[in-house]
Homo-oligomer: A and B are copies of this chain.
Amino acid sequence: MERHHFEDDLQALKQRLLTMGALVEERAHQAIAALIHRRLDEAEAVIAADKEVNDFQIEIDDRCLKLLALQQPMATDLRLITSAMKINADLERIGDQAVNIAENTIKLLPQPPLKPLIDIPRMADIAEKMTRDSLDAFVRKDAELARSVLTRDDEVDQLKDQVFRELLTYMMADPGTIQRALALILISRNVERIADHATNIAEDVIFLVEAKDVRHGRENEEVEK
């Protein structure tokens, strides 16, 4: 296969990763919407859709392996493909977290709402945006955008701690709230993990764009040629 086809294949790979990213982001959004609007059917739809995400992961992994085997790429292209494999794994795990949110939501639904949800949806908004931006940063090789994702992870951690403290107060004041508060705490951890995966993706992008900077001082010249 010629260079021309190789470039097309790399573009197609990026496009598939973006589509996979949009898919898992949509699943996470749907899981949080099921929580907010107390929709059992939506929560079940997220769980049912997991196979689609897994099939997507396998397809993208195959693309990467074939590109590595057939094209024997060097330097930047090589790092692009190995980064794509790692990002693919993180996206699949974001899909897993959407499933976890849906499962925890299903446990909550038989009981009346504990409180209006504010911080968890806010955390989820940030985590979704982080996922989208980390992928945009990958496609555009934009290290600055990737760095902005890393910064936002702290914000998510702070919200997670705030959610924890507030729900702890509920539990201490009224043991009747314990089960619901626990489910919400676990959901906030699921959202936190989505943000962690977006952070992993952003770190991969920074390595891809600025290999020498991230691995401070280590010599990668053999790979760079």
Contact = CB atoms under 8 A, between A and B. Distances in A.
A48 interface: no
Contacts of A66: 222-223
A74 B82 contact: no
B85 A82 contact: yes
Contacts of A220: 62, 65
Contact of A65 (B62, B79, B185): B79
Interface in A196-225: 215, 218, 220, 222-223, 225
Copies in the complex: 2
Given A85-B86, A171-B178, A178-B168, A69 B65 contact: no
Nearest to A74: B69
A81 to B, nearest CB: 9
Contact of A171 (B74, B171, B186): B171
Contacts of A69: 74-75, 78, 222-223, 225
Q: Is the interface of A mostly helix, strand, loop or mixed?
A: helix
Interface in A161-180: 168, 171-172, 175, 178-179
Interface residues of A, number: 33
A97 to B, nearest CB: 11
Nearest to A65: B223
Contacts of A186: 189
Contacts of A175: 171-172, 175
Nearest to A222: B66
A68 interface: yes
B68 A78 contact: yes
A111 interface: no
Contacts of A22: none
Most buried by B among A69, A89, A178: A69
A156 to B, nearest CB: 15
A59 to B, nearest CB: 8
Please give me the 10 A-B residue pairs with the lowest Cβ-Cβ distance, nearest first: A72-B72, A69-B223, A172-B175, A171-B178, A65-B223, A69-B78, A66-B222, A58-B215, A68-B78, A66-B223
